[in-house]
Amino acid sequence: MTATDSSDPTRRDFIFIATGAMAAVGAVASIWPFVDQMNPDASVLALSTVDVDLSPVAEGQAVTIKWRGNPVFIRHRTPKEIEEARSIKVDELPDPSARNENLPDNAPATDENRAAKDKPQYLVMMGVCTHLGCVPLGMSGDYDGWFCPCHGSHYDTAGRIRKGPAPENLHIPHYQFVADSTLRIG
């Protein structure tokens, strides 16, 4: 068998392309473990829940606990703070989404949706500014809530962004009350 017409695809062309394609697939597949090893490992993912006793946290007090390497703010709010948070309409907020993992994604950022269910005095949220990840300072800023010293974001008493470069309300992690005053985060 002699192939004289070079414009026709030959068995050799086919084998050449098929080999090249397999080599490309193999190269991509062998890169993946080296990419994925950068993702959180099993020991990081294992630290997924933490329990907190809220009974020593009196009204007007706040605690910061560490969960998955990040601070979580738990604030026992005063009636005045709750009142302040409820006095603003959702459509006036820069970020109208509740950012609450315990609720559907489209929940509006009302104070009720931000605070703990049936316990509106408790506000539980990540202490991580949604701008660039600094820890905001409590009881400060123009809205009596939190103020991020890094780039000047102001959050209100429901942890919602009101002014500054942060695009989103402070995120609310998944949590539940396992007893009347015991909170489980994660």
Partner 1 sequence: MSEHTVYEPKSALGRWFEERLPILGFVKTHVLDYPTPKNLNYWWTFGGILTAMLAIQIVSGITLAMHYTPHTSMAFDSVEHIMRDVNYGWLIRYVHSNGASMFFIAVYIHMFRGMYYGSYKAPREVLWMIGVIIYLVMMATGFMGYVLPWGQMSFWGAKVITNLFSALPFIGEPLVTWLWGGFSVDNPTLNRFYALHYLLPFVLAGLVVLHIWALHVPGNSNPTGVSVKSTQDVVAFHPYYTLKDGFALIVFMLLFAFFVFYAPNYLGHAINSDPANPLATPAHIVPEWYYLPFYAILRGIPHKLLGVVAMFGSIFLLFALPWLDTSKVRSGAYRPVFKQFFWLFAIVCIGLGYLGSKPPEGGYVIAARILTAYYFLHFLVILPLLGLLEKPKPVPSSISESVLAKNSRRLAAQPAE
Q: Which residues contact partner 1 by CB under 8 A?
A: 38-41, 44, 64, 66, 68-71, 127-128, 131-135, 148-152, 164-167
Minimum distance from CB of 128 to partner 1 (Å)? 8
Which is the catalytic residue, given 151, 154, 171, 174? Answer: 151
Task: Tell me, yes or no, if 151 is annotated catalytic.
Answer: yes
Cα separation values, 116 from 8, 53, 110, 120, 174, Å: 72, 15, 12, 5, 11
Residues 6 or more apart whose CB falls under 8 angstroms from that of 96 comprise 90, 108, 109
For the beta sheet containing 50-53, the strands, ordered from the edge strand earlier in sequence to the opposite edge, are: 50-53, 182-185, 175-179
Name the minimum Å distance from CB 137 to partner 1: 8
- Pick 114 or 131: Cβ nearer partner 1: 131
| Shortest distance in whole angstroms from residue 17 CB to partner 1 | 32
> What is the smallest separation between the CB atom of 40 and partner 1, expressed in angstroms?
5
Q: Which is nearer to partner 1, 120 or 165 (CB)?
A: 165
Torsion of CA 79, 84, 87, 90, to 10 degrees: -110
In terms of CB distance, is 70 or 97 closer to partner 1? 70
Q: How far apart are CA 186 and CA 176, in angstroms?
A: 8
Residue closer to partner 1 by CB (options 26, 149) is 149
The count of other CB atoms within 10 Å of the CB of residue 49 is 14
Show which residues are catalytic.
Answer: 151
